[in-house]
Amino acid sequence: MTIPTFTLNAYSVAQLVVTLVDFYEMLIIVYILLSWFPIREGSLVHDIGMVLQSLCEPYLGLFRRFIPPMGGLDFSPVIAVLALNLVSRLVIGIIV
């Protein structure tokens, strides 16, 4: 009886990095979209928003320190997603 082995090659790691970055970007986008609408406290959407806030706000907070809102608009999520893509591409470039 042979035991199946799992080999982790560079392509698999790169694919995993891309998938995780894409997923986190989606979380950030959903979090930002939810912030545009009034949400009743205690609802399911509020609970989802609180989970997304706990996942996204530490990362977005890094950029909010350097990029203040201009005219009531917060551009830090855009810069945060661009930085996430840049780091992802650099990591994939190193791995592959």
**How far apart (Å, rounded) are the C-alpha atoms in residues 77 and 82?**
9
pLDDT tens for 49-85 read 999 999 999 999 999 998 888 888 889 999 999 999 9
Encoded tokens for 61? 């907070």
**How far apart (Å, rounded) are the C-alpha atoms in residues 26 and 7?**
29
**Residue 4 vs residues 1, 7, 75: alpha-carbon distances, Å:** 10, 10, 48
User: Where does the pLDDT of residue 39 fall: very low under 50, low under 70, confident under 90, or very high at 90 and above?
Assistant: confident
**How far apart (Å, rounded) are the C-alpha atoms in residues 52 and 38?**
16
Domain borders along the chain are 10-95
Helix (H, G, I), strand (E, B) or coil at 5: coil
